[in-house]
Amino acid sequence: MAWFKRESGELDTSGVKTVRTEGLWVKCESCRQIIWKKDLAENLNVCPKCEKHFRIDARSRLALLLDEDEYETFDAGLSSTDPLKFVDLKPYSMRLRQAQRDTGLKDAVINARGKLQGRPVIASVMEYAFIGGSMGTVVGEMITRAIERACDTRTPLIIVSASGGARMMEGVISLMQLAKISSSLARLNKAKVPYVSVLTDPTTGGVTASFAMLGDLNIAEPGALIGFAGPRVIEQTIRQKLPPGFQTSEFLLAHGMLDAVVHRKQLKAYIARALEFMDTPAVGHQPSAVS
């Protein structure tokens, strides 16, 4: 009975197709729904079920904000020299090389010049995947250069923050960036060039304590963690329990710390409208010829 007995000993599996499913799906931490990654990407990385805004990288952010994905980057060649020769679990120089390999960037920010709904802008966008978007000398220098360029060319500035704060591996030199950036923003303010600060998840520490909160307009994405110190440190210091939702965009808006919380889908149009508003002279205002 040949049909009953297998005649060749080996089972031929060469024609069997393997279907790869791993990595195609992602679980939303907020509503616990399983979402197809392609659906998530098509929805600007916002959960289609509960509107949770997933983190996006700096390049996707620039593509989202600037017209037709056309922009020119500048100051991309700067990289940290590891001034303190810092070593924690592993040497800082090694961490830097790893982050540079993973992200294709020299440090945690991209400076770009492009157009937002036809209006020229300078954008500085932080990359959280690069050592937690931490602000060391290079981030500080690049953001300062973006501000100076905005000031010299009288081009509106947009900074998109995504950062754990100052970069501890560069110690006090990274803290000095707070003062450096804040003083060039003061110059930008004096020159009356608009600055829109966009705070995304997360914006904490020295970044919140300096440029992220110094915009002419400070806007955040929904549900973003925004704060200075972490909640546990604050609770231990003030010896009080913190209210629910503390350090989210919505809480900060309700307490007067932000101007608006804007959905990712409306962000570009919102900024365009704001820049147009800031560019329009007040009714009846005549620029004075006498200085």
Task: Name the residue nearer to Zn ion (CB basis): 49 or 97.
Answer: 49
DSSP track, 164-216 = -SB-GGGHHHHHHHHHHHHHHHHHHHHTT--EEEEEEEEE-HHHHTTGGG-SS
Least distance to Zn ion from the beta carbon of 33, Å?
5
Answer whether 163's CB lies under 8 Å from 128's CB: yes
- Give the nearest distance from C-beta 50 to Zn ion in angstroms: 3
Measured from the CB atom, is 47 or 217 closer to Zn ion?
Answer: 47
Sign of CA dihedral 54, 56, 60, 66: positive
Span 23-42, contacts to Zn ion by CB under 5 A:
28, 30-31
- 50: contact with Zn ion by CB under 5 A: yes
DSSP 113: E
Q: Shortest distance, CB of residue 245 to Zn ion, whole angstroms?
A: 17
The answer to whether 49 contacts Zn ion (rule: CB under 5 A) is yes
Q: Per CB under 5 A, does 53 bind Zn ion?
A: no
Subset of 105-144 contacting Zn ion (CB under 5 A)? none
Task: Check residue 47 for interaction with Zn ion (CB under 5 A).
Answer: yes
Binding residues for Zn ion, rule CB under 5 A, total 7
Buried b (16+ CB within 10 A) or exposed e, 38-56: eebeeeebbbeeebbbbbb
Q: Which residues bind Zn ion (CB under 5 A)?
A: 28, 30-31, 47, 49-50, 52
